[in-house]
Amino acid sequence: MHSSLSLNFGLLLFYQQAVNSRIAFQKRYLSSMGKLSPAEEGSLKQTISSWRAAERLSECKRYESTWNSAVNLCKMAADAAYSSGAQQASISIRTNIKVAESQLEEARKLSAEAEKKLAETKVEEIERMAEYAAFLEGSEEYEIQEAYLRED
């Protein structure tokens, strides 16, 4: 159980790091909007789109399911140990399970915070893209007005 906990906990932390890296990358992209060539912008968009945070989350969910099965087996083993007179072993198993569950809960909280930040960044990206599109549309209108005035 200890190795599956370490793996699950590590994957959740790795997922959190991937999300935080994506957020930082997206913020840099948003701050450079309008300053990049179309090729650079396309390359950055492709990088953001292909980020593997979603894959990491799927992997974490799969390991979490496996870990939950392992915890249930350990609880049954603790019950069996208690029933057979090995109370100390049963207590030890249950204590280890509680410690593992609290560590996993902390990792889940960190992942949830990272997901919240990612959602906020996506909203910010949509807002910035809308502002940029409005800016481009406004500059095109200005160019049309300038051309119209020159013809007079």
Q: Report the alpha-carbon distance of residue 29 to residue 44 in Å, rounded.
A: 7
pLDDT at position 93 over 70:
yes
Rounded to whole angstroms, what are the CA distances from 10 to 57, 61, 104?
A: 12, 13, 10
The pLDDT score that the predictor gives to residue 4 is 54
Taking the C-alpha atoms of residue 65 and residue 83, their distance in angstroms, rounded to an integer, is 27
Instruction: Indicate the pLDDT class of residue 60, thresholds 50, 70 and 90.
Output: confident
pLDDT tops 60 at residue 44: yes
Model confidence band, residue 9 (pLDDT cutoffs 50, 70, 90): low
Sequence-separated (6 or more) residues with CB below 8 Å from residue 30: 124, 125, 128
Q: Output the pLDDT for position 142.
A: 54
Mean pLDDT in the chain? 75
Residue 6: its pLDDT value, please? 62
Residue 149 has pLDDT above 70, yes or no: no
* 15 within 8 A of 111, measured Cβ to Cβ: yes
Question: Residue 150 pLDDT > 60, yes or no?
Answer: no
- The predicted structure's pLDDT at residue 5: 56
Q: Hey, where are the domains in the chain?
A: 2-121
Domain spanning 2-121: CATH 3.10.200.10: no
pLDDT band at 1, cuts 50/70/90? Answer: low
> Around Cβ 93, how many Cβ atoms within 10 Å?
20
- For the chain, the C-alpha Rg in angstroms (whole number) is 26
